[in-house]
Amino acid sequence: MAITTIESKNTEDYLIWKHPNRDLSIGSQIIVNESEEALLFENGQLLHILQSGKHKIQSGNIPGIDGVIRRSIGNTPVIKIDTWFVSKVVSTDYKWGIQVQVKDNTHQLIVPLGSYGSILLKIEDPASFVMQVVGKNKKLKKEELKNFILPCIERALKEYIAEKIREGSLDIFSIETVLGKASGNVKDSLKIVFEKYGLSVVEFFVQGIQVQGESPEYKKIKESLADAASLKIRAKAASEAKGFYRDQRELVDLNKLAYEAQDLTKNIDKQIFNEKQDINNESKTSQKSGDLKVKLEYLRELLDSGLITKSDYDKKRFKLLDQF
């Protein structure tokens, strides 16, 4: 039988590539390039991993194949071995992006969150990777590995966000402040998942998390929280810029207004919840009218106390009337 040479002819962006010829004879050789290593399998069992160089098939030359050679002598000069070439230079540094739905228990909202970042992987155990990820396929591209890991990232990130929301330590309005903690937590989770596939997570970063689009409910609560924060800032500025006694009175008044603004936010939350429950209730128009009156009276108090200008008052009043 002619001497066979097994060598990787792959020129594409492959991480793993299986040579089509599995019939080798004594004296055949396997050539492994500098940027690769070769895995030898018999019937799904790993025999040996070859590093770069020329490797001749003969007894005692390659650990693990002596038994294969002995079984072939007297029957056929051909031994059947699967040869997988694993690239060591194809980058596994991926940019990822996902979208998940989360429920904010504080404000009773379900919103879509978009997140993106990067992950750097290393094939730590090529044999496990070939058997569990590549399987019966004859090759695996870099993009195919990305499609394999994306659902794992999505699940790990969603579980982290859901856990923090349940604990009460996170809501959709503060979610962008936990990128560092989210990166570390999700990385630890992915390490455990990928380890059984022969992969190690070298680096993992969550670079952004934000609400996708803005529902009317989300926008309304966001504006109310911004108004409350603005009042607290004005209260602090008043305490630093004016006399002590007048300062104290204004601080009490402004803080009172700030708390009223927070109460208004809670009322809006409650209103949103009720509107969802009673969307077909004919009393909805009457309820909105009462709420409009409360908001207009509140705006008037802000104007009378000098916390907003007449122009601001008119703009917000017209906006409320348009919404009604």
- Summarize pLDDT for 2-33 with one digit per residue, the tens: 678 999 877 667 889 999 998 888 888 999 99
Output the CA torsion 268→274→280→285 (10° steps): -40
User: Can you give the pLDDT at residue 194?
Assistant: 94
Contacts of 178 (CB under 8 A, 6+ apart): 164, 170, 209
pLDDT of residue 182: 92
Residue 48, strand partner residues: 40
- pLDDT for 245: 46
- Output Rg (C-alpha) for the chain, integer angstroms: 33
How many angstroms separate the Cα of 150 from the Cα of each of 83, 99, 125? 29, 11, 20
Cβ within 8 Å of residue 202, ≥6 positions away: 120, 121, 122
Assess contact for 117 and 205: CB atoms under 8 A.
Answer: yes
Domain ranges, ordered by start, for the chain:
5-87, 93-211, 216-323
pLDDT at position 4 is: 83
**Regions of the chain where pLDDT drops below 70:** 1-2, 11-12, 59-61, 64, 66, 70-77, 107, 214-255, 257-258, 260-262, 264-266, 268-269, 272-290, 324
Superfamily of the domain at 93-211: Band 7 domain (3.30.479.30)
The pTM score is 0.61
CA distance 221 to 271: 11
